[in-house]
Amino acid sequence: MSQQTTREIINGIRGTKTVPGVCMICPWHCPTENFVKDGRIEYVRGNEYAANRTTRCVKGISSIHSSRDKDRLLYPMKRNSAGVHERISWDQALTEIAGRLKKIKDEFGPESLVSLFHLDSNEMFTHQLFGHLYGSPNLSGHGAACDQDRRLAALSTFAHPLPVKDYANSRFVMLWGADPFGPNEALHENRELLEAMKRGCRLIVVDPNRSRTAEKAHIWLPIKPGTDGALALAIAHRIVETQSYDKSFCDEWVHGLAEFSEHVLSNGYTPQWAEGITGIAKETIIAVADEFAATKPALMDGLKGLVNYTTGLDALRTVFALNVITGNIDGPGNLILKEMSPLGFPLEIPEEEATIPEKPPIAYGMGYPLAPDLPTQLLPKAVLEDDPYPVKALFFHVCNPAMSDPNTRLFEKMMAAVELSVTVDIYMSETAQLSEYVLPEASTYERAEVRESMWAGPQTVLAQPAIAPLGESRPYYEIIKGLAEKMGYGAYFAWDSWEDWARTCTAYLPVPYEELKEKGVWEGELRYRKYNTDGVPTSTGKFEVYSTMFEEMGYHPLPVFNEEHRVKPDADYPFQLVNCKMQYHCGTHTQNNPYLMAIVGENYVEINSLDAARLDVREGDLVEVASPHARATIRVRTSEAVQPGVARVPHGHGFGRRFGSIARGRGTHINPLFETRANPVSGGISFNECKVKITKA
């Protein structure tokens, strides 16, 4: 007798039907299962055929509310002459937007449209309409506010944008400014890390804050904020000096070891030098370097705690170089250069129908030719000054730079200046409030997605609509299809149902469509050391610790520690403001969620209890946090987890959520305090470079 799957057991008990989906709350996009009865989502969990098995985090489980939230956008809206958004029909919205886009293209060229998005796989429809057909080179994700520096460091070292972690097979893991046990990174990775630690894997955490991950680490290095690059270079110095790198691997697969070695030695990046900068004792640096070099397999990686400084890009280049020179790359227990599934485009657009833009992407003109994503924090200045060229239309798809970028006031000015602004979202976000047209998207429970997952091997997720869209909301692919028809491109978007394009996208997978549909995921083989068979797609054919890409563009080919651009606390503004994420929230979409808001309903500033005593404030008091640019009032939490002199604030809360009855009036929007600061090479936002003073409110 065949055994019942747990899906079948749950459906038997609840009288439900399972529809595979995907979680879109945070960037890990876990494959999910939705259990549906009578057009309502009754229960959700992780997909049992995916690496998470059946688990989801608290944010993911709680997101069931978004399938029922009465505060969601339910119909298209247009701002009237009094500045109020009023309901219009889909036909009016799409006809007017299409007409205005055509006029803008005729007058200013296709590059005058900038289309911004988060991480939605349905963005492929925007790429086909606004990219291939309309001809804009300015389609960009939100990377500048997130992993921009990590991606550029990875591209320059590995020619791969997204190394992932094979904790399961590792014996030494060193995490820099990453807190996977806190606000969650990929759930299966966290479980694998804990299991590896039970088997003896060592965990070293570099973080100014005693994060949840730091609490579980064998060694926590409480580094001074923004100085990780000095520590990484000192570890490199020790490994080069003792020649404890992997010589035979370097001979075959590493470009620039000699230059890298000479660079770290001749510049005096010694552990002693780093001790004075980082606050980490030289003996500790030597011990960690020796252990890392002696332990295989190992991996080192960093994330937002590292990249939110102007020193972050070179810090990560050094961290990635350390993986490479010790031969710890793409093998079991290393950083893995993820292989993608063989997915196709949903539409076929003949080459002769594509519009080739005459001008380069706007990031080039801004002086960031290597930026993986548009430095969105610099967009307002570019738009307001028509530099490098006019931008007249802004299209936002579930991204909210009014909340996620610094210098909110400048963003508002830009929104008032453009000729056309459109936001597609499931909520009336702050960016939607500033847009002329607001289009309601169906939630993840009501739409299809074909996407690559974050698992280390190739893995496709086929998420399917589980319930009907709320109100008049539409899946994104229907919105783009409608717009394409009005713009005269309807012939290319001629599918009848989502399954037509989903079949096209997945046609090259070695799995029958019906099986993929039933399981919701397809997983290929996780191949290790692919460089042995496929090579390394850098210009030298090797992993580069001396970057030819940087050299060609006139940047330093080797990583340095340069504090020239850093903002540090001073006598007038004695605190370093750093941002973080909460375990229970992600961006703004979780803030109208009653379950999550019942756990934590607002953000706060965390300061060390010694600082709190000096300022005469106690847990729960209101304080004013002021930077040279703006001020904000927020509640205090006292904690030993942050160092004296550091003020830590979870970002993405507060501001003007007019339509969110649960979120309204809760929390403090901290981003107006930040100056517009960018890494000079990547254009990534240096969020943590903000000095503030704190006084009792």
- Taking the alpha carbons at both ends of the chain, their separation in whole angstroms is 69
Contact between residue 32 and residue 60 where contact means Cβ atoms under 8 Å apart: yes
Residues 6+ apart with CB under 8 A from 670: 577, 579, 603, 625, 632, 634, 649, 651, 653, 654
- Taking the complex as a whole, the smallest distance from the CB of residue 431 to ligand SF4 amounts, in Å, to 21
- Taking the complex as a whole, the smallest distance from the CB of residue 27 to ligand SF4 amounts, in Å, to 7
Structure token digits, residue 551: 């050299």
- Taking the complex as a whole, the smallest distance from the CB of residue 185 to ligand SF4 amounts, in Å, to 7
Tokens 């060609």 label which residue? 552
The residue (of 31 and 458) whose beta carbon lies closer to ligand SF4 is 31
- Interface stretch with ligand SF4, choices 52-60, 192-200, 314-322, 342-350 (CB under 6 A): 52-60
Angle at 77 between CA 72 and CA 81, to 5 degrees: 135
Q: Does 41 bind ligand SF4 (CB under 6 A)?
A: no
The residue (of 112 and 583) whose beta carbon lies closer to ligand SF4 is 583
Q: What is the DSSP letter of 492?
A: G
**Considering only residues 50, 57, 336, 623, which one is a binding residue for ligand SF4 as defined by CB under 6 A?**
57
Structure token digits, residue 640: 């030993």
- Taking the complex as a whole, the smallest distance from the CB of residue 244 to ligand SF4 amounts, in Å, to 37
The residue (of 57 and 235) whose beta carbon lies closer to ligand SF4 is 57
Binding mask 353-382 for ligand SF4 (x = CB under 6 A): ------------------------------
Structure token digits, residue 57: 């985090």
Structure token digits, residue 520: 């919701």
**Considering only residues 19, 30, 193, 641, which one is a binding residue for ligand SF4 as defined by CB under 6 A?**
30
Task: Give phi and psi for 359, each to the nearest 5.
Answer: -110, 155
- Interface stretch with ligand SF4, choices 57-65, 215-223, 481-489, 531-539 (CB under 6 A): 57-65
Q: Cβ-count burial of 265 within 10 angstroms (0-12 exposed, 13-18 middle, 19+ buried)?
A: middle
Contact between residue 676 and residue 565 where contact means Cβ atoms under 8 Å apart: no
Angle at 401 between CA 229 and CA 687, to 5 degrees: 25
The residue (of 51 and 114) whose beta carbon lies closer to ligand SF4 is 51
Q: Does 263 bind ligand SF4 (CB under 6 A)?
A: no
- Taking the complex as a whole, the smallest distance from the CB of residue 426 to ligand SF4 amounts, in Å, to 15
**Considering only residues 34, 45, 48, 60, which one is a binding residue for ligand SF4 as defined by CB under 6 A?**
60
Contact between residue 641 and residue 571 where contact means Cβ atoms under 8 Å apart: no
The residue (of 59 and 486) whose beta carbon lies closer to ligand SF4 is 59
The residue (of 29 and 519) whose beta carbon lies closer to ligand SF4 is 29
- Interface stretch with ligand SF4, choices 24-32, 78-86, 502-510, 664-672 (CB under 6 A): 24-32
Closest CA to 328 of 170, 470, 478: 170
The count of chain residues that interact with ligand SF4, using the rule CB under 6 A, is 12
Within positions 167 to 226, which residues make up the interface with ligand SF4, using CB under 6 A? 184, 187
- Interface stretch with ligand SF4, choices 4-12, 19-27, 495-503, 598-606 (CB under 6 A): 19-27
**Considering only residues 7, 45, 59, 657, which one is a binding residue for ligand SF4 as defined by CB under 6 A?**
59
- Taking the complex as a whole, the smallest distance from the CB of residue 66 to ligand SF4 amounts, in Å, to 12
Contact between residue 530 and residue 543 where contact means Cβ atoms under 8 Å apart: no
Per-residue burial over 581-600, b if 16 or more Cβ lie within 10 Å, else e, is bbbbbbbbbbbbbeebbeeb
Q: Does 29 bind ligand SF4 (CB under 6 A)?
A: yes
Nearest residue to ligand SF4, scored by beta-carbon proximity:
60
- Taking the complex as a whole, the smallest distance from the CB of residue 39 to ligand SF4 amounts, in Å, to 23
What does the alpha-carbon distance between residue 289 and residue 579 come to, in Å, rounded to a whole number? 29
The residue (of 420 and 448) whose beta carbon lies closer to ligand SF4 is 448
- Taking the complex as a whole, the smallest distance from the CB of residue 12 to ligand SF4 amounts, in Å, to 25
Within positions 281 to 320, which residues make up the interface with ligand SF4, using CB under 6 A? none
- Taking the complex as a whole, the smallest distance from the CB of residue 46 to ligand SF4 amounts, in Å, to 7
- Interface stretch with ligand SF4, choices 27-35, 268-276, 548-556, 664-672 (CB under 6 A): 27-35
Q: Does 56 bind ligand SF4 (CB under 6 A)?
A: yes
What does the alpha-carbon distance between residue 151 and residue 154 come to, in Å, rounded to a whole number? 5
**Considering only residues 16, 18, 19, 25, which one is a binding residue for ligand SF4 as defined by CB under 6 A?**
25
Contact between residue 30 and residue 46 where contact means Cβ atoms under 8 Å apart: yes
Q: Does 26 bind ligand SF4 (CB under 6 A)?
A: yes
The residue (of 527 and 581) whose beta carbon lies closer to ligand SF4 is 581
Report the 3 state secondary structure along 617-659: CCCCCEEEEECCCCEEEEEEEEECCCCCCEEEEECCCCCCCCC
- Taking the complex as a whole, the smallest distance from the CB of residue 314 to ligand SF4 amounts, in Å, to 29
The residue (of 140 and 190) whose beta carbon lies closer to ligand SF4 is 190
The residue (of 59 and 118) whose beta carbon lies closer to ligand SF4 is 59
The residue (of 179 and 478) whose beta carbon lies closer to ligand SF4 is 179
Q: Identify the H or E element spanning 459.
A: strand 459-463
The residue (of 56 and 542) whose beta carbon lies closer to ligand SF4 is 56
Q: Does 522 bind ligand SF4 (CB under 6 A)?
A: no
Q: Does 28 bind ligand SF4 (CB under 6 A)?
A: yes
Q: Identify the H or E element spanning 261.
A: helix 257-266
Structure token digits, residue 84: 């109020």
Q: Does 105 bind ligand SF4 (CB under 6 A)?
A: no
Residues 6+ apart with CB under 8 A from 497: none
Q: Does 23 bind ligand SF4 (CB under 6 A)?
A: yes
- Taking the complex as a whole, the smallest distance from the CB of residue 45 to ligand SF4 amounts, in Å, to 10
CA dihedral of residues 186, 191, 193, 199 (deg, nearest 10):
-170
The residue (of 28 and 543) whose beta carbon lies closer to ligand SF4 is 28
User: CA dist 501 to 347, 448, 477, 484, 495, Å?
Assistant: 7, 10, 10, 15, 7
Closest CA to 664 of 581, 591, 584: 591
The residue (of 286 and 463) whose beta carbon lies closer to ligand SF4 is 463
Residues 6+ apart with CB under 8 A from 472: 74, 75, 76, 90, 440
The residue (of 456 and 558) whose beta carbon lies closer to ligand SF4 is 456
Residues 6+ apart with CB under 8 A from 165: 173, 189, 193, 299, 301, 335, 336, 456
Task: Give phi and psi for 256, each to the nearest 5.
Answer: 100, 15
Instruction: Categorise residue 92: left if φ over 0, alpha if ψ from -120 to 50, beta otherwise.
Output: alpha
Contact between residue 77 and residue 603 where contact means Cβ atoms under 8 Å apart: no
- Taking the complex as a whole, the smallest distance from the CB of residue 31 to ligand SF4 amounts, in Å, to 9
- Interface stretch with ligand SF4, choices 55-63, 78-86, 137-145, 340-348 (CB under 6 A): 55-63
Q: Which positions touch ligand SF4 (CB under 6 A)? A: 23, 25-26, 28-30, 56-57, 59-60, 184, 187
